[in-house]
Structure 1
Amino acid sequence: METALVIGGTRFIGRHVVEDLRDHGYDVTIFNRGNHDNPFADEDVTHIQGDRTDTTDLKTAALSAKPDLVVDCVAYKPGEVETAVEVFADVDAYVYISSGSAYGTEEIPKRENDTELCDCTPEQATDDSPESYGARKAEGDRIIAQAAEDGVNAMSVRPCIVYGPYDYTERLDYWLDRVEHHDRVLVPGDGTNIWHRAYAEDVASALRVVGEEGEAGEAYNVGDRRLVTLEEMLEVIAEAMDTEVEVVHAGERELAAAGLAPTDFILYREYPHVLDTAKLADLGWESTPVPEAMARTVAEHRESDRDGSEHDPGREAEERVLGVLDTI
C-alpha cells in the first residue's frame, strides 16, 4: 500500500497517525472540516475539507485521494461507520478506531473474541452523550464484522485510555502539572488502581499495522504492554521530570472530609480495566517502553499551555485532605 486517507488527522490520535504513515513511506491525505489548525499545512500532506457526516463529501474525498488504506479517527456513531464501509468498500484496508469502552463486561483482561460487547439501542446509536460512547463504538465494531462478511477488508482497533503529545483532553496533563508543581500529590485509594493506558504513537502504529497485516472483520486491542498503577504512573512522571514526588493516599472517608470522592480524580477507576494486547502483538506490533513514552509526553507537555485544570478537583480541597492525614 502506498496511499493513505486519514479521516480526522490534525489533532491528537489523528496527528500521530499522519506522522506514523509518513514515516513509513505513505502518501497521506487528510479529510476533515478544517475547524482546527493543520499542523501539516506546510508539509507534503494533502488536505481535503469536508464533513464526514456528509456522504457526498466522503465520496469526493475517496475519489480525490484514491487511498489504498483508510484510517477513520472520527467515526463516533454507527451510521457513520455504515456509510464509510460502503464508500470505501473497494480500498485495500479500512481501519476504524473503536475503543476499550466497547466492552460491556468487567473482566480481567478483556479479550477481543471472548469479552462481551456493549449493547446499543437505537436511541444510543444517535446520541452524543459520553454515557452512550461505549455502546456506539461497540455497534461500530459489529458493523465492521458484517462488512467483512460482505467482502470489505474492514478492521477495528480498540485503544484503552490514550496519552501522549498533543492530548487536547488534558487527562494526563492534570497529573503532569501536579507532579511538576507540588512535592506532595494526593492519590485516591491505595494507589494500586489500574486503568490500562495506551501511548498515542503506539496507537498510531497499531492502526497502520492492522491495516497492513490484520484480518478482515477482526478487532485488535491496543495498550501499553507494561501496565502501571496510578502511583507507579506518578513515579514514572517524576523520573521523566527529573524530580521527586511524595504520593499521599487518601480513602473515601478522608476525601469526604473535603467534599471529594475518588472519582473526582481523573484516571481513577475502581475496577481494573485491562486489555489483552497479544492479538495485536502477533501481527508484529510493538509498544514503546513506558519511561520513554512518558519522557516524550513530558517534553511536549512542557512546551504546551495545557495544565489539566478542567479536571482539577481543587488544590485547596486536596490541601485540607493532606492536613487531615497529617494529624492521623
Structure 2
Amino acid sequence: MHTILVIGGSRYFGKSLVTKARDAGHEVTVLNRGSSVPPAGVGHVVADRDDEEALRVALGPRGFDVVVDQVCYTPRQAAVARRVFAGRTGRYVMTSTMEVYDPATLPGRTAGGGRAPAAGPVPVPVTEDSLDLAHLLPTAPHTDPARAYAEQKRQAEAVFLREPAFPFVSVRTAHVLGGGREEFTGRLAHYVARIAAGTPVDVHAVPYATSFIHHREIAGLLYWAAGQSFTGPVNAASHGSLDVTGLCELAARRLGRRPRYRLVEQGAAASPFSFDRAYAMDNGRAAALGFGFGRVAEWLPGAITEAAEAAEATEG
C-alpha cells in the first residue's frame, strides 16, 4: 500500500484515478480548494496551491509516497510545489500535455549551451527526447492563450527538471476523449453537433494526424506511473493517430449523416483537432516500460456514441 496525494483530481479522468487508487487499497488524499468533495474513503486537504504558506499549514507534517499533480499549469505553481514537497514525497508525477511539442509554440532559446527545443525539424511521431526542457530559459506568459498554455506547461516541467528535489515524471497526455458529459471540453460534442445538424466542419486543406487517449486509459497510465520507478517525460497516447477527417468519418457513420467540410487557409483557426502542423506522439517509451495501450480505432466509436447519447439526453 502507498500513500498517494492527488492535487486536483476533482473531475474527469482525475476522479477515475482517485477511485482506482482507492479501490486498489492505497491510502489516497485529494488536495483542492474545497470546490468539490472527494469520494468516500478518500482523505481531503483544503488549500490553495498558489499560497505557499497556507499549503504548508494545511499539509502539516504529512508526507506521501507519491504526489500526482493534475493541475500544475504554471512555473510558479511548479516552484511552490517543488519547495513544499521537497522531503515530503518519494515520487512526483505531473500531468502535462502533448501541446508542449506543438511546433507553432516552440521557442528556440536555451541557457547553458543546451539543445534548443525547436532546434531542427521535430521528428514525427514525436519522442520525449525531442525537448530538452532542463535548459529552457524562463519566459513571460504569451498573450495568445493557446501559446501561453503550451509554454507555461513547458516552463512548469523545466522547474522540476532544473533543480530536482525528488524523482520526477511528466506524463505528456494526448487529447483525452470519452465519457459523454464528463468530457467537459466539448470537443467531441462539437463534431457530433455539427455533423448531426449538417453544419460544415472547418478543416485545413491538408490536416495532420494527431494523438488521442481514452479517459479511462489516461487514468490507468497515471496510476501505473505512480507505482513505477522510471523518471523523466513519458508520452501517453493510444496506438494509432487520426486526422480530423478520419474523426469526422467515424462520427458520421454513428450519426447516419455525411460530413460536410469548409476549408480554411493555412495558419487560420479551424475546428478542434484540425492541425496544419505535425506533432502526433510516439508512445514507445511507455510501451517499452510495460504499459499496454489500447487503439484509437477500437475505443473512439464508443466515445462518439457516448457524446451523441449525451447530446440526445440534453435535447430531450
- Residues 87 and 264 from structure 1, CA distance in 2 versus in 1: closer, same or farther, beyond 3 angstroms? same
- Residues 19 and 301 from structure 1, CA distance in 2 versus in 1: closer, same or farther, beyond 3 angstroms? farther
Letter in 1 for 2:98: G
Letter in 1 for 2:208: N
Query: Which whole-Å CA distance do the structure 1 matches of 2:96 and 2:312 have between them?
Result: 26
Question: How far 1:6 sits from its partner (Å)?
Answer: 0.8
Equivalent in 92, 96, 100 of residue 94 of structure 2? 96
SS at match of 1:113: helix
Q: Which residue in 1 is equivalent to 2:176?
A: 162
Residue ranges of structure 2 left out of the alignment (5+ in a row): 107-117
Q: Does 1:177 align with 2:188?
A: no
Query: Which whole-Å CA distance do the structure 2 matches of 1:175 and 1:64 have between them?
Result: 48
- Residues 93 and 121 from structure 1, CA distance in 2 versus in 1: closer, same or farther, beyond 3 angstroms? closer
Letter in 2 for 1:22: R
- Residues 305 and 67 from structure 1, CA distance in 2 versus in 1: closer, same or farther, beyond 3 angstroms? farther
Q: Which residue in 2 is equivalent to 1:188?
A: 203
- Residues 251 and 295 from structure 1, CA distance in 2 versus in 1: closer, same or farther, beyond 3 angstroms? closer
Q: Which residue in 1 is equivalent to 2:225?
A: 210
Contact residue 210 and residue 283 of structure 1 kept, 8 A: no
Q: Does 1:301 align with 2:307?
A: yes
1:259-300 CA-partner distances (Å, limit 9, x unpaired): xx9623222111122111111112211223324533553454
Moved more, 290-299 or 223-232: 290-299
SS at match of 1:275: coil
- Residues 189 and 172 from structure 1, CA distance in 2 versus in 1: closer, same or farther, beyond 3 angstroms? same
Question: How far 1:68 sits from its partner (Å)?
Answer: 1.6
Question: How far 1:183 sits from its partner (Å)?
Answer: 5.8
Q: Does 1:269 align with 2:263?
A: no
Q: Which residue in 2 is equivalent to 1:313?
A: none
SS at match of 1:134: helix
- Within a 5 Å distance, the mapping from 1:75-114 to structure 2 comes to 75-90=72-87, 91-103=89-101, 104=106, 105=118, 107=122, 108-114=124-130
Q: Which residue in 2 is equivalent to 1:320?
A: none
Question: How far 1:145 sits from its partner (Å)?
Answer: 1.9
Moved more, 85-94 or 61-70: 61-70
SS at match of 2:239: coil
- Residues 270 and 208 from structure 1, CA distance in 2 versus in 1: closer, same or farther, beyond 3 angstroms? same
Q: Which residue in 2 is equivalent to 1:145?
A: 161
Query: Which whole-Å CA distance do the structure 2 matches of 1:247 and 1:304 have between them?
Result: 20
Equivalent in 282, 287, 293 of residue 293 of structure 2? 287
Contact residue 187 and residue 231 of structure 1 kept, 8 A: no
- Residues 220 and 14 from structure 1, CA distance in 2 versus in 1: closer, same or farther, beyond 3 angstroms? same
Query: Which whole-Å CA distance do the structure 2 matches of 1:244 and 1:231 have between them?
Result: 16
Identity %: 23
Question: How far 1:34 sits from its partner (Å)?
Answer: 2.5
TM-score by length of 2: 0.78
The alignment covers a number of residue pairs equal to 291
1:224-279 CA-partner distances (Å, limit 9, x unpaired): 2111222222333345x4x43323344348xxxxxxx9623222111122111111
Q: Which residue in 2 is equivalent to 1:256?
A: none
Q: Does 1:248 align with 2:260?
A: yes
Q: Which residue in 1 is equivalent to 2:53?
A: 56
Question: How far 1:301 sits from its partner (Å)?
Answer: 3.1
Query: Which whole-Å CA distance do the structure 2 matches of 1:305 and 1:89 have between them?
Result: 45
SS at match of 1:282: helix
Query: Which whole-Å CA distance do the structure 1 matches of 2:171 and 2:256 have between them?
Result: 36
- Residues 128 and 51 from structure 1, CA distance in 2 versus in 1: closer, same or farther, beyond 3 angstroms? farther
Moved more, 182-191 or 130-139: 182-191
- Residues 17 and 65 from structure 1, CA distance in 2 versus in 1: closer, same or farther, beyond 3 angstroms? farther
Q: Which residue in 2 is equivalent to 1:221?
A: 235
Contact residue 194 and residue 274 of structure 1 kept, 8 A: yes
TM-score by length of 1: 0.76
Contact residue 2 and residue 68 of structure 1 kept, 8 A: yes
Question: How far 1:220 sits from its partner (Å)?
Answer: 0.7
Question: How far 1:50 sits from its partner (Å)?
Answer: 1.5
Letter in 1 for 2:64: P
